[in-house]
Amino acid sequence: MEIVFLPDACPGKSPLPTGTAVLTNQDDWRRFAISDCGCGMRLLKSEISLSDFTLPQWNQLADMLRANKGKLGDLGGGNHFLDALAPYNVGSLHFLIHTGSRNESNLVDHLVDSPEEFDKEFERVIVWAAENRATIQKAVESVFGKTELLLDLAHNSYEKLMNGQAIIRKGAVHIRPQELAVIPSHMSGDVSLVRAKDSVADILCSMSHGTGRKMPRGKCKPLADKYDFDRLRKAILIPAGIENASLRTEGPYAYRDLDECLSLIHGYVEEIDRFAVVGYMGHL
């Protein structure tokens, strides 16, 4: 067995901590691969500039996604979000979609003792989660115009190997040398686009999907009570109808610093672009 802990490692409700990759030859490895199967991120490059990005448009998109509640194109809750990103280098606006599959994933979790059924249902949910992000992309395009798909990576998945072993990635993306991954920090923090070096093979071809939480949601209240959400709303666009109370567990204070995270993985990836968050929506 081999276990990789990435900089975003933190405990959760699933059997494996978020931010880990595990190489195992246990026969019952599927019981560790459950929870939010196919949760992932999709990065899009638009054809518009930051000056073309307005709050009325952002509100319009939020209303469209609210209408998808319980259907494809549902942004979901928790730490799932849609960000509008402005590159520090001159360039067009980008969008980052982070959605999960908790309701669909529940259909997988009880099949851990039936390998064939588990694998079939897991693959269906992986496809469903990608289609959900693709449907959100269509909504984005209906408001902001055509976008280019740069990447779509699940970070709750598994990989069966030819020798009977398996790699389980929980809150970690599968990335091979020279491939791209995106690493966000928090709702007002920077986002890094990275390219994997050959050395990523030494850590099971796995990479962080974010910077990770500093603290569990239950311990956010004291910091949330002191945090200036009005100032946050002046710095980034947040759609109407998203109350401060719904952001208490996801505020910037709850997540680790991006540069601190990157310093721990610099031997495995190189940063090729960096973005500032200029718009956030979540908890619709």
- Provide the β-strand partners of residue 236: none
Using pLDDT thresholds of 50, 70 and 90, give the confidence band for residue 104: confident
Using pLDDT thresholds of 50, 70 and 90, give the confidence band for residue 13: confident
Q: Please check the confidence at residue 203 and state whether its pLDDT lies above 90.
A: yes
Q: What is the mean pLDDT of residues 61-80?
A: 95
Reported residue count of the chain is: 284
Using pLDDT thresholds of 50, 70 and 90, give the confidence band for residue 54: very high
User: Above pLDDT 70, what percent of the chain?
Assistant: 100
For the ranges 31-35, 98-102, 193-197, 218-222, the one whose mean pLDDT is highest: 193-197
255: which DSSP letter? Answer: B
Look at residue 232 in the predicted model and tell me its pLDDT.
96
The full set of domain ranges for the chain reads 2-281
**Structure tokens given for 78:** 């928790």
Q: Please check the confidence at residue 147 and state whether its pLDDT lies above 90.
A: yes
Look at residue 78 in the predicted model and tell me its pLDDT.
87
User: Above pLDDT 90, what percent of the chain?
Assistant: 90
Cα–Cα distance for residue pair 112/196, rounded to 1 Å: 32
Q: Please check the confidence at residue 90 and state whether its pLDDT lies above 90.
A: no
For domain 2-281, give the fold: tRNA-splicing ligase RtcB (3.90.1860)
Q: What is the mean pLDDT of residues 107-127?
A: 94
189 closest CA partner among 141, 260, 139: 260
Look at residue 139 in the predicted model and tell me its pLDDT.
98
**pLDDT, tens digit, for every residue of 159-188?**
999 998 999 999 999 999 999 999 999 999
Look at residue 270 in the predicted model and tell me its pLDDT.
98
Cβ-count burial 33-63 (b if 16+ within 10 Å, e if not): bbbbbbbbbbbbbbeeeeeebeeebbbebbe
> From residue 92, how far is each of 87, 89, 143 by CA, in Å?
7, 9, 15
Look at residue 87 in the predicted model and tell me its pLDDT.
97
Look at residue 105 in the predicted model and tell me its pLDDT.
83
66, amino acid identity: R
